[in-house]
Amino acid sequence: MSSLINSLKSEIARVARKELKDELLALRKAVTAHRSEIAALKREVKALASAVKAGTRASKARGQEVPAAAAPGIRFSAARFAALRAKLGLSQAQLATLLGVSYLSVHKWEGGKAQPRAAQLQKIAAVMKMGKREAAKQLEA
């Protein structure tokens, strides 16, 4: 009786292995397909990121406006910034004092050689809302 039980167990194990082999083969094929798809998507994301970076560099080189990533509601333009300073009748040093930055930063921003950070964009937006008299009061204080 013992040999019958052992042969039955071995036959059940063999059939189970055979069934599992087909299922595992299908799963392995699916995993391989998913991995290759993931690799293709990674390559595509990398290519798109480099294209965005190149486009940003090209637009900066042409002097176009480039929105700051950290402050989505505020855009910066070197020409508008220079026009703001002229409208307020301030020197670069005075505008720098008003914004709480160095005059060299103001010079670079006006020349398009640098972009202000998000915190400075907030200050620039506040100064844009000022008039000549209010700016003069702020400088005196």
Check which CATH number belongs to the domain holding 104 and give it.
Answer: 1.10.260.40
Q: What is the number of structural domains in the chain?
A: 2
Q: Are residues 57 and 26 in the same domain?
A: yes
Q: Are residues 57 and 75 in the same domain?
A: no
Instruction: Kindly report the three-state secondary structure assignment for every residue of 71-103.
Output: CCCCEECHHHHHHHHHHHCCCHHHHHHHHCCCH
Q: Are residues 35 and 75 in the same domain?
A: no
Q: Contacts for 36-41 with beta carbons within 8 Å, 24 or more apart?
A: none
State which of 35, 62, 89 marks the end of a domain: 62
User: Of 127, 9, 120, which is closest to residue 68 (Cα–Cα)?
Assistant: 120
Structural domain boundaries, residue 85: 70-140
| The one-letter amino acid at 6 | N
16-66 pLDDT, tens digit each: 998 899 899 999 999 999 999 999 999 999 999 999 988 888 777 776 655
State which of 15, 42, 62 marks the end of a domain: 62
pTM score: 0.49
Q: Are residues 77 and 136 in the same domain?
A: yes
Please give the Cα distance from 91 to 99 (Å, whole number).
12
Please give the Cα distance from 53 to 88 (Å, whole number).
35
Which of 27-36, 81-90, 127-136 holds the top average pLDDT? 27-36
Q: Are residues 56 and 99 in the same domain?
A: no
Q: Are residues 108 and 127 in the same domain?
A: yes
